[in-house]
């Protein structure tokens, strides 16, 4: 039989993993947005420059400014992601210590009662946290640059459509 402390530690571990995966997914998607903005502004600068016959130095300066601003935005995204990860790790550490110290502070006679009452609740919560971490890993795979090329093929879409038709 598992102890409530073990189940609680496992739950915290999976919840921490979920939060870290979500922060990393945010970082990847935010960088993709910054890159899209950089390309859009660059295209706009080129279009306006050609349309209005703007001086090449002005256009070059606007291009540099666009690179600097989007570079700064990327740095901010990384900084926010690092801070969020540090917060997640800190909360997980403190919460884990609170669980262990809280359970250790219980009188010896009260521990079996707490185990009897808390374990039926803690096990499904741990199960949900395992599933949430699995879903966050899938999300992270979906937004990672390596997997994007694989998911966008026509073959994948056709296979999914055929599977859906079969299950109906």
Domain, as residue range, for 159: 4-167
114-140 residue pLDDT tens: 788 888 888 899 999 999 999 999 999
- Going by C-alpha positions, the residue among 2, 11, 28 that lies closest to residue 141 is 28
Distances in Å between the Cα of 158 and the Cα atoms of 67, 103, 152, 161 are 40, 53, 11, 5
| Sequence-distant (≥ 6) Cβ neighbours of residue 25 within 8 angstroms | 136, 139, 140, 143
User: SS in 3 state form for 39-75?
Assistant: HHHHHHHHHHHHHHCCCHHHHHHHHHHHHHHHHHHHH
Please name the helix (run of DSSP H) or strand (run of DSSP E) that holds residue 111, with its range, or none.
helix 111-143
pLDDT for 29 equals 95
pTM of the model: 0.74
Question: Cα(152)–Cα(161) distance, rounded to whole angstroms?
Answer: 14
How large a percentage of the chain has pLDDT more than 70? Answer: 86
142-163 residue pLDDT tens: 999 875 555 455 555 556 556 5
Q: Which two tokens stand for residue 133?
A: 């971490």
Question: Cα(73)–Cα(36) distance, rounded to whole angstroms?
Answer: 12
Question: Cα(58)–Cα(162) distance, rounded to whole angstroms?
Answer: 54
Q: What is the mean pLDDT of the chain?
A: 84
Domain total in the chain: 1
Question: Cα(150)–Cα(41) distance, rounded to whole angstroms?
Answer: 28
51-104 residue pLDDT tens: 887 788 888 898 999 999 999 999 999 999 999 999 999 999 998 888 777 777
Question: Cα(9)–Cα(115) distance, rounded to whole angstroms?
Answer: 14
pLDDT for 56 equals 81
Crossing angle for the helix pair 4-52 and 111-143, to the nearest 10 degrees: 20
pLDDT for 1 equals 45
């Amino acid at each position: 039989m598992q102890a409530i402390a073990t189940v609680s530690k496992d739950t915290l571990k999976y919840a921490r993993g979920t939060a870290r995966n979500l922060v990393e997914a945010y970082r990847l998607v935010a960088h993709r947005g910054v890159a899209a903005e950089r390309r859009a502004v660059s295209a706009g600068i080129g279009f306006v420059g050609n349309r209005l016959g703007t001086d090449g130095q002005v256009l070059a300066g606007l291009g540099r400014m666009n690179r600097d601003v989007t570079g700064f935005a990327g740095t901010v995204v990384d900084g926010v992601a690092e801070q969020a990860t540090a917060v997640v790790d800190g909360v997980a550490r403190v919460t884990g210590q609170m669980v262990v110290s809280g359970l250790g502070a219980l009188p010896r006679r009260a521990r079996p009662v707490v185990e009897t009452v808390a374990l039926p609740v803690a096990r499904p919560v741990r199960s949900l946290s395992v599933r949430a971490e699995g879903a966050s890993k899938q999300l992270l795979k979906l937004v990672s640059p390596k997997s994007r090329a694989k998911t966008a093929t026509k073959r994948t879409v056709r296979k999914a459509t055929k599977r859906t038709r079969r299950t109906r």
